[in-house]
């Protein structure tokens, strides 16, 4: 049963990541174009850079955590900064709309960060459990 729930969580994460990226892509690229932040022909690259930084920094943070080196400030800031930018751009995309529309606009970047952390939590838990099982097996048996 646990294998099924682990599988469901990972498929859920991939589904959430794809959905949030698609929604956020539209908002960020449109805001980048409307604000004149980049040439309109290059606006599609901005969400790739923003979400790419989040994914890359998360992978580094996971690697550090799983190797036992713990959390470091730089990769954490490299997640928080782009996530805040993504949230800001998504909310700005809904400016002039109702408060509910603006709150809903914040869901894609928040969903990405939350789903990334849930998968990381599950991986850390699995590793902790397998580490404990390994220590039990390594103990000498006393008669």
pLDDT bucket at 27, cuts 50 / 70 / 90: very high
- Tell me the average pLDDT across 25-39: 95
- Tell me the average pLDDT across 30-38: 95
What is the pTM assigned to this prediction?
A: 0.77
Among residues 14, 23, 18, 36, the alpha carbon closest in space to that of 106 is found at: 23
Residue 59, pLDDT score? 86
What is the rounded distance in angstroms from the CA atom of residue 96 to the CA atom of residue 61?
A: 37
What would the pLDDT profile of 68-98 be if each residue is shown by its tens digit?
A: 776 678 888 999 999 999 999 999 999 999 9
H-helix or E-strand spanning residue 58: helix 45-66
- Tell me the average pLDDT across 90-110: 94
> Which tokens in the block code for residue 11?
């498929």
Report the length, in residues, of the chain.
Answer: 143
Residue 98, pLDDT score? 96
Cβ-proximal residues to 27 (8 Å cutoff; 6+ apart), any chain: 47, 89, 90, 92, 93, 94, 105, 108
Residue 6, pLDDT score? 79
Please answer whether residues 86 and 109 qualify as being in contact, where contact means their C-beta atoms are separated by less than 8 angstroms: yes
What's the DSSP call for residue 40? Answer: G
Please answer whether residues 55 and 113 qualify as being in contact, where contact means their C-beta atoms are separated by less than 8 angstroms: no
What is the distance in angstroms between the CA of the first residue and the CA of the last residue of the chain? 35
H-helix or E-strand spanning residue 106: none
pLDDT at residue 136 is higher than 80: no
């Amino acid at each position: 049963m646990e294998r099924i729930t682990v599988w469901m969580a990972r498929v859920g994460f991939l589904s959430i990541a794809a959905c949030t990226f698609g929604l956020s892509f539209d908002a960020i690229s449109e805001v980048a174009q409307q604000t004149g932040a980049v040439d309109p022909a290059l606006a599609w690259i901005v969400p790739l850079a923003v979400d790419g930084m989040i994914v890359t920094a998360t992978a580094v943070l996971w690697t550090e955590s799983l190797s036992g080196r713990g959390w470091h400030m730089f990769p954490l800031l490299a997640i928080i900064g782009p996530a805040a930018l993504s949230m800001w751009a998504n909310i700005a995309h809904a400016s002039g709309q109702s408060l509910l529309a603006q709150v809903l606009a914040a869901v894609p970047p928040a969903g990405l960060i939350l789903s990334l952390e849930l998968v990381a939590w599950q991986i850390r838990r699995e590793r902790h459990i397998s580490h404990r099982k390994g220590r039990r097996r390594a103990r000498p048996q006393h008669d």
